[in-house]
Structure 1
């Protein structure tokens, strides 16, 4: 029973809300185009998104346990993994098989939509699988790839993949929504690497917090966060986004506060954790409000 609980914890269920919100952006774009998918297809794309996110979490937890990173990291609510495997080492193999099995289910859902929609899904689907399989062992060794890969996975791959899977078209609104998701998710992963930088360095990772230092990384994170709102504003001004999408600007004051405070709290753990927590709330609420605004 303890090993089963460890597998569930290793999937990091408290973080899995991000995937359905990104897939939800694709679903909202389909609705905005008057393309109303059936319940089965809606459930499958949302399930596939959650399973893909769970798969990368499980494989990441397994690899971090094998590399010894889990024993070096100081865990926070937003970084450092779940701690499931250091507490239950006997569950390591189950976590690995759970990750591979979950990824196989994602591939099966992808093959169904590939059969249904044709080759346009092949490139996005293959890119998604490559990102999941290579993120921890290889992508985290390249600062630029480590920055962009999470955003690409949750942005273009997940948002645009959902749109194609549901039979909608890739228009300017779809591309803009995928860009917003890319910027927000890349910012989220970058900011959450700040507390883990020293432990990551010891196991050979090379992300921007390590190569450029926390202060420069925090300024870049602030730029990515505010750029996402700039993209939303540009979409509203050009009528690429419908007027109700203005709702997504509601978290902007909190985003400005995060951007201003982040460089100032790098050496203060408790204050940094508060900023990280607000940053998560800003990201999730912005994506949720975009989904609502596109659907109205």
Structure 2
């Protein structure tokens, strides 16, 4: 029963975002004509997944401790996993999972520092700060909370992967990472709508609480428009191959999600197809970008 609770608290379906972002970083290396070391790539994936599991389980632990888990109306995409409310005796085990996962990520990160020097350290330290403070502190600062998901997954994972594989930073990686940065911010932003009331009662102050759903919808639409514009502009400027235009294919899903957010606002959790399309757009776009680099 404890193992089941730990697995549920890790939120396995959401972990797919991590290898996709790592793949994008690795595909940039391949696109630049460099070889990709399979051992290093495997270590990167293990470290990145460990960090993701750590932030998920730590979030579940803190949300249960605060009582938030008992107030949220769960969907497949928001409101927590419900694992700890169903098995409170596993609380310490979930916390231990978070700590051990973070230690694994740190050990792998230190190996990368020994391999390439201190240039990778800022990415690692910022990643640890995001893990440790997202639930307890960042969620109380709306603008930080808005950009933290995209910064952690879209920028740090893409840039970090690319650097570890070649030992130097490519400017191209930074420009490309802005695209998943925008869409992953949107992924978390929309998933906050169903939990607005419960989050407010728990003392959180993320963007939809601070500025309302209408302003959040405007930001969501701006991020989608920016992602579309960047993909087209990068192809036009020859930063991306023409094949990268396939990354525009999921964009209608994001626009449909925005339609659902306008129509249903905080009740969007009762219409989970819109939340699902939002997740699909955030995952498929970097996946298709990586595919265009590889082929």
Using structure 1 for the length normalisation, give the TM-score: 0.96
> In the alignment, what sits opposite 2:216?
217
> In the alignment, what sits opposite 1:12?
11
Does residue 78 (structure 1) correspond to residue 77 (structure 2)? The answer is yes
Distance verdict in 2 for CA 1:69–1:267, change over 3 Å: closer
Pairwise CA RMSD of aligned residues?
A: 1.4
Distance verdict in 2 for CA 1:26–1:168, change over 3 Å: farther
> In the alignment, what sits opposite 2:68?
69
- Report the 3-state secondary structure (helix = DSSP H, G, I; strand = E; otherwise coil) of the residue aligned with 1:213: helix
Q: 1:272 & 1:179 partners in 2: Cα distance?
A: 29
> In the alignment, what sits opposite 1:289?
288
Stretches of structure 2 that go unaligned for 5 or more consecutive residues are none
> In the alignment, what sits opposite 1:240?
239
Q: Identify which range, 103-112 or 29-38, moves more after superposition.
A: 29-38
The 5 A counterparts of 1:117-266 are 117-167=116-166, 169-266=168-265
Following superposition, the deviation at residue 270 of structure 1 comes to: 6.0
Write out per-residue CA displacement over residues 181-213 of structure 1, whole angstroms, 9 at most, x where no aligned residue.
111111111110000010000010001111111
Q: 2:64 & 2:270 partners in 1: Cα distance?
A: 28
Write out per-residue CA displacement over residues 123-144 of structure 1, whole angstroms, 9 at most, x where no aligned residue.
1110001110111001101001
Following superposition, the deviation at residue 275 of structure 1 comes to: 0.9
Stretches of structure 1 that go unaligned for 5 or more consecutive residues are none
Distance verdict in 2 for CA 1:134–1:23, change over 3 Å: same
Distance verdict in 2 for CA 1:93–1:246, change over 3 Å: same
Following superposition, the deviation at residue 119 of structure 1 comes to: 1.1
> In the alignment, what sits opposite 1:111?
110
Write out per-residue CA displacement over residues 90-110 of structure 1, whole angstroms, 9 at most, x where no aligned residue.
000000010000000000111
CA contact (8 A) 1:55 1:99 kept: yes
> In the alignment, what sits opposite 2:86?
87
Using structure 2 for the length normalisation, give the TM-score: 0.96
Q: 2:254 & 2:220 partners in 1: Cα distance?
A: 11
Q: 1:28 & 1:80 partners in 2: Cα distance?
A: 34
Following superposition, the deviation at residue 170 of structure 1 comes to: 2.7
Following superposition, the deviation at residue 224 of structure 1 comes to: 1.2
Distance verdict in 2 for CA 1:215–1:86, change over 3 Å: same
- Report the 3-state secondary structure (helix = DSSP H, G, I; strand = E; otherwise coil) of the residue aligned with 1:181: helix
Q: 1:27 & 1:189 partners in 2: Cα distance?
A: 24
Q: 2:47 & 2:61 partners in 1: Cα distance?
A: 21
Aligned length: 295
Q: 2:266 & 2:84 partners in 1: Cα distance?
A: 29
Distance verdict in 2 for CA 1:234–1:74, change over 3 Å: same
Q: 2:281 & 2:37 partners in 1: Cα distance?
A: 31
Write out per-residue CA displacement over residues 136-189 of structure 1, whole angstroms, 9 at most, x where no aligned residue.
001101001111111111122111011111115433321122111111111111
Following superposition, the deviation at residue 281 of structure 1 comes to: 1.2
